[in-house]
Amino acid sequence: MTFVKVCGITRPEDARVAVEAGADAIGVVMCSESPRVCTVERARAVFAVVPPGVLRVVVSHTSTEAGLAECLETGPDAVQLSQPLDVPASTGVRLIRVVAPGATVPNDCAMVIVDGSHGTGRAFDPGYARKVMAASRRPVLLAGGLTPENVGAAIRELRPFGVDVASGVEAAPGRKDHARVRAFLEAAKRPYPND
């Protein structure tokens, strides 16, 4: 079954809905210029309602050790980075790397996310996604432009390990539309032939 991360969560009630609908990971954005950015306190409040077994992910575009340290203050299970920083092994926190067209496929991480969108809703490049999936020794998630209406077709066509959604299930930046979250999870978790 497809792994699903719901990202850009800023409110505990949105995290609860995503978890109840079957999300495998909840993402909060920190140290970023995104309209979905959370403080340490807000990220902790979101993570407080996420049960064991659901991955708590801090997503950041930080390029500094200080920014990374702030992300780690929330007690995440994983940190998703688009910059060439490393998460100290001593933290026990997994590293997720973001790649976009032109980037080298990393293997120094637990998971790879194909995302040239960075929360803007711009569609991912299927050709590039296929190349990453073929080259990666790590699980690959698709992100960028996914919605309840198109996620099923993307999964059937590319067969990724998982998908990641932010703007495609929003009523406004940082505020999830609960009906769209449920519809996205239903479409993404539907069994497809050869699952």
Task: State the pairing for strand pair 170-172/175-176.
Answer: antiparallel
Catalytic hit among 24, 77, 115, 164 = 115
3-state helix, strand, coil in the chain (%, to 5): 30, 25, 45
115 is catalytic: yes
- Give me 180's structure tokens: 């769209």
Catalytic hit among 7, 38, 71, 109 = 7
Q: Count CB neighbours of 39 within 10 A.
A: 13
- Give me 17's structure tokens: 């809905």
Cα angle: 153, vertex 114, 150; to 5 degrees: 20
Task: State the pairing for strand pair 55-60/175-176.
Answer: unpaired
86 is catalytic: no
- Rg of the chain in Å (alpha carbons): 15
- On whether the CB atoms of residues 156 and 190 are closer than 8 A, the answer is no
Smallest CA-to-CA distance from 37 within 17, 64, 14, 7 is with 7
Q: Where in the sequence numbering do the catalytic residues fall?
A: 7, 115
